[in-house]
Amino acid sequence: DAGVIQSPRHEVTEMGQEVTLRCKPISGHNSLFWYRQTMMRGLELLIYFNNNVPIDDSGMPEDRFSAKMPNASFSTLKIQPSEPRDSAVYFCASSLPGGPETQYFGPGTRLLVL
Amino acid sequence: GQQLNQSPQSMFIQEGEDVSMNCTSSSIFNTWLWYKQEPGEGPVLLIALYKAGELTSNGRLTAQFGITRKDSFLNISASIPSDVGIYFCAGLSGNQFYFGTGTSLTVIP
């Protein structure tokens, strides 16, 4: 079985550009989570969806960040405009119904904003 | 948001030694989880704990859910080189996850 799929795996962009990160959750999982990982702040939950509906976006740092889940098999995290301080590893994770503790993480997208 | 404090921050040990790390919080959690993250990968769940006082093993790994529900412990026995990585604790309250700061483990052959 394929795990959580994220693309791209690496992204280098210039400040001010729009960045779109993509995630395909594990089939049958109904919850999807976006995390950001940095050396300074560790692993932070940005937003999570349940049945394609955003439940808690309190971790989204600011209006430059937005996330969508148009269907059960696809989600995007967009940063517009990007800034150097957005450089981080962004993880997507998905979990089974009723089992948030069983979330599986994707391999991450390493973002560098110059 | 909440932050869980893990200690030690890093460990350098000889192969074969036992490892102990812990995670503390100012808040109570209903579930404690331990993850391992290897370079270039996402965290992988090692052990999940659901009840205060619970002691659970997964091979050479043993984790405990603290009685106060504000802490958890992870032990690795007879470490091997492939145990290298960063170990994270996570506390679950409702549907909110809070991750620890991580313990970086280096095993010297």
* Residue pLDDT, tens place only, A28-44: 999 999 999 998 888 89
| Tens digit of each residue's pLDDT (9 = 90 or more) over A60-95 | 988 999 999 999 999 999 999 999 999 999 999 999
What are the distances in angstroms from CA B98 to CA A96, B24, B34?
19, 11, 12
- Judging contacts by C-beta atoms under 8 Å, the chain A residues touching residue B40 are 107-108
* pLDDT tens sequence across B11-53: 999 999 999 999 999 999 999 999 999 988 999 999 999 999 9
| C-alpha pair distances (Å), B31 with each of A48, A62, A72, A73 | 18, 29, 26, 27
Per-residue pLDDT tens digits for B70-79:
999 999 999 9
Do the Cβ atoms of A42 and B31 come within 8 Å?
no
Answer whether B97 sits within 8 Å of A100, measured CB to CB. yes
Distance between CA A57 and CA A49 in Å, rounded? 9
Chain A contact for B67 (CB, 8 A cutoff):
no
Strands of A57-98, DSSP E? 65-71, 74-79, 88-96
Q: CA angle A92-B24-B32, nearest 5°?
A: 50
Which residues are CB-neighbours of A62 under 8 A, at least 6 positions away?
Answer: none
Please report the beta strands in chain B, taking only residues with DSSP state E, as ranges in sequence order. 5-7, 10-14, 19-24, 31-37, 44-49, 55-58, 61-65, 71-76, 85-93, 96-99, 103-108
**CA A31, CA A14: separation in Å to the nearest integer?**
32
| Sequence-separated (6 or more) residues with CB below 8 Å from residue B50 | B30, B31, B65
| Cβ distance of B45 and A102 shorter than 8 Å | yes
Hey, of A32, A40, A43, which one would you mutate to test binding to chain B, going by the most B CBs within 10 A of its CB?
A43
